[in-house]
Amino acid sequence: MTLAVRYTAARTLDTAPAETRLPGPGEVELAPAYVGICGTDLHIFHGDMDARVSAPAVLGHEMSGRVVRVGVDVEGWSPGDAVTVMPLRWDDTCPACLKGHQHICQHLDFIGIDSPGAMQQRWIVPASTLIRLPGTLPLDRAALVEPTAVAVHDVGRAAVREGEKTVVVGGGPVGILIALVARAQGADVRVVELSAHRRLLAEELGLTAWDPAAVDVPALVGQWTGEAGADVAFEVSGAAGGVDTAVEVLGVRGRLCLVAIHPRPREVNLHRFFWRELTLVGARLYDRCDFEKAVALVADGTIPAERLISKVVPLTEAPSAFEALEGGGDVMKILVDCTTDTHNSDDARGASV
């Protein structure tokens, strides 16, 4: 019997036997090893996405694992291959797809939200979604490839260039990843984050982090930039105050990249956009090139994935992990180990399969 973590109603998860079948044509069966819990999963857990998610729903899209078996007509993949999944399935016929933007297909199936996800011991996915992992990359670290691909896409959307003054508002997992990817691109980066725990981690990773409750962030940006303002700001906090800060710190013709999900409309200082000729860009998801670059960044240590993993829990303890993440500040990334039902989570850090 294989198990799956399922969302059944707001703030309710269970662990139940998973539906099993053989992979069909063009499909592969995977054994997920580690699955990360992300902000979108928390939105689902809170019941905020019930209009989109059909319960009972298997969650999870940040994953690593191995191929178990392949369906007919699948070439290039064999049992035992280490993989992650780009969890997008598009129709190739909508206006977005026809313009080459398949990753934001107007009828997109985001696997793990719109269809069953990875938080189970066996998982059937299209072979076209597989991304190969280096055999030397531990699978717990590889579970952070998907959020790293988000960061790679965000930095690309903002067109960050070497030497640019860049402010990341929100120092959670994606915010830290954006800061690290931007730094690798040659940017000079500052992180704005309320949580002392997250600021400390940012500093340990060689980033400068500011507490917006204790300092005047726009004034500090002015000192840092010679009153020119930042070239780029990323809004990753999801808070109204974060939007205000991201707009306020930008200099003339600065670029604001909106990363966080804002479930309700926000007031925005449009006069600032007019006065300084600012640019706002949205950033959603990723494409295959973003994923492949993310694999390289995690594999070569540019992204110190192991430092972002706060805890690893067995599949049966996933519901309690969601509750732990609600506290926010003292936790970065929790991984669910799908390979066993129970284990000592402290011993799991750094393990590979």
Give the pLDDT of residue 352: 30
Of the chain, the percentage scoring pLDDT greater than 70 comes to 96
* Interatomic CA distance for residues 324 and 207, integer angstroms: 26
Q: What is the DSSP letter of 263?
A: S
pLDDT in tens, 10-29: 999 999 999 889 999 999 99
pLDDT in tens, 300-336: 999 999 999 999 999 999 999 998 888 766 889 999 9
* Interatomic CA distance for residues 285 and 283, integer angstroms: 7
Give the pLDDT of residue 263: 83
* Interatomic CA distance for residues 94 and 115, integer angstroms: 19
* Interatomic CA distance for residues 72 and 84, integer angstroms: 20
- Nearest of 184, 192, 194, 190 to residue 166 by alpha carbon: 190
43 is catalytic: yes
Give the pLDDT of residue 68: 98
Give the pLDDT of residue 344: 39
pLDDT in tens, 61-108: 999 999 999 999 999 999 999 999 999 999 999 999 999 999 999 999
* Interatomic CA distance for residues 101 and 78, integer angstroms: 30
Q: Which of 2, 43, 101, 302 is catalytic?
A: 43
* Residue partners of 83: CB distance under 8 A and separation at least 6: 30, 64, 65, 66, 67, 77, 130, 131, 132, 133
The two tokens of residue 93 are: 């016929």
Give the pLDDT of residue 349: 33
The two tokens of residue 131 are: 């991304």
pLDDT in tens, 177-217: 999 999 999 999 999 999 999 999 999 999 999 999 999 99
pLDDT at 343 over 70: no
* Interatomic CA distance for residues 191 and 170, integer angstroms: 7
40 is catalytic: yes
Omega before 56 within 30 of 0, i.e. cis: yes
Residue corresponding to tokens 């931007």: 182
Q: Residue 341: which pLDDT band, with cuts at 50, 70 and 90?
A: low
Q: Residue 346: which pLDDT band, with cuts at 50, 70 and 90?
A: very low
Task: Over range 40-44, report the average pLDDT.
Answer: 93
pLDDT at 353 over 90: no
The two tokens of residue 265 are: 């409309």
pLDDT at 342 over 60: no
Of the chain, the percentage scoring pLDDT greater than 90 comes to 91
CA torsion sign, 23 to 28 to 33 to 35? negative
Q: Which of 2, 20, 40, 262 is catalytic?
A: 40
Residue corresponding to tokens 């303890």: 317
Q: Distance from first CA to last CA of the chain, Å, rounded? A: 20
